Amino acid sequence: MKKLALAALLAITPVTFAETLEHVEEEVHLAMETIQQLKAEINELKAAVKMQGEMAEAQQSSIAKAAKKFEKITLGGYGELHYNDTETDGGTKSKSLDAHRFVLFFGYDYSDRVRFRSEFELEHALAKDTADGSGPGEVELEQMYVEIDLTDQLQTRFGVILMPVGILNENHEPPTFYGVERNDVEKYLIPTTWWSGGAEIIYKTNNGIMLELMVSEGLEGSTSMDIRAGRQKSASAVANDLAYTGRLTYTGFPGLKASVFYNHQADFTQLSSDNIDKLDLYGASAIYGFGDGFEIRAIHVQAEFDGKDESGADFAAGFDEQQGTFLEVSKRTGNLGVFFNNSNVSGNSVSRQYTVMQYGISYWPMGTDTVVKINYYDKEYPNPSKTSSNSDGVHIGMGYVW
């Protein structure tokens, strides 16, 4: 019996073994296909992960580059709002509110030694709003220049530059000066704000001396010898006669900044056919802070015109020699400041010859670069024909710089 069972088992074993082997081969083949598919999917995942990593790295690099570039950008600005309430001795009352200036500053540092600076300004809230284009406002490019440090002491600028004259022409942000309005000496004789297209070189010594030399577009005035009206503002400026300007400044004594400046132009009107020739504009200024918040500011300006024939009425009246003197005393305690100033103007006409006396207060909220101002204003004409134009009143304003 046992022999019979063993014989039967041996008889069926080859078939079963063959079937099992075939089944195993199929399973192995299927497993290999699965493994290959898994490998392909893993490779695809690796490629996707690598691509995402490269994209993330590129994105991070792009963000880093943008951030680094943004760090080189300088933004800023200033503005002021004025309310003036005055009355003349002749009984004429005037009340006005004016969003006088809104200025944006943009700069970019290419490197430690090369910089770009610009200012974009909107005056009187709107620009040429009326149909004939005679609205009160203006849009102006006040600065646009490249500044290069040639050495630690020598610097040059090219572009649209504020002229190196006076006190306020380059530093006229509202929180930096007293009074709602800028003084008339630096408004009509400097004339602030005065900018020109040109080139400037600046040399600074280690003992507080600075020399500035500039060549630029000149004024394009008229035979009325109105200096302020001659500003061209680099707007298709006539450049038949260039202007040459120099200023020497001393800051070597604590609290003192003193300057002398000179501007020369061969032909004030840029025309050889009229009677007006050269203009020499020169003066001196000083700011002295002598402790405990006390400060004195002073500036004197002279303007002298030459003519081919100086027998005309304007020369006979002395309008070819114009001058102005401004003096101010102030005291600041904490966030509050009080001041008194006086302007004496002798300009190009009887209506441009007068004195202005002001006194008032300035308040800088919480010590910030914002300011609220109020001052009394009194304007007097020495010429008897202008007595009725004498005026006084109140100026109120706010301003900021950021």
Question: Taking a C-beta distance cutoff of 8 angstroms, is the pair 357, 381 a contact?
Answer: no
Long-range Cβ contact pairs of 333-340 (< 8 A, separation 24 or more): 333/293, 334/367, 335/363, 335/364, 335/365, 335/366, 335/367, 336/361, 336/362, 336/363, 336/364, 337/178, 337/293, 337/361, 337/362, 337/363, 337/364, 338/362, 339/178, 339/179, 339/375
Run means of pLDDT, 10 residues per run, the chain, 402 residues = 52 54 69 77 78 70 71 96 98 97 97 97 84 78 98 98 98 97 97 97 97 98 96 96 97 97 97 94 97 96 94 90 98 98 97 98 97 98 96 98 98
DSSP H or E stretch at residue 149: strand 138-149
Evaluate the CA torsion angle 174, 177, 178, 179 in order and state its sign.
Answer: negative
pTM for this one? Answer: 0.83
Instruction: Identify the pLDDT of residue 9.
Output: 46
Note whether 124 and 81 are within 8 A (CB): no
CA-nearest of 330, 334, 383 to 355 is: 383
pLDDT of residue 312: 84
- Which amino acid, one-letter code, is at 126? L
In degrees, rounded to 5, the angle at the alpha carbon of residue 168 between the alpha carbons of residues 315 and 163 is 70
The HSE-up count of residue 244 (CA atoms within 13 Å, CB side) is 6
- Token look-up 């700069």 returns 107
What are the CA-CA distances from residue 308 to residues 63, 192, 222, 312, 322 (Å)?
65, 28, 14, 10, 18
- Tell me the CATH architecture of domain 107-352: Beta Barrel (2.40)
Q: What amino acid occupies position 129?
A: D
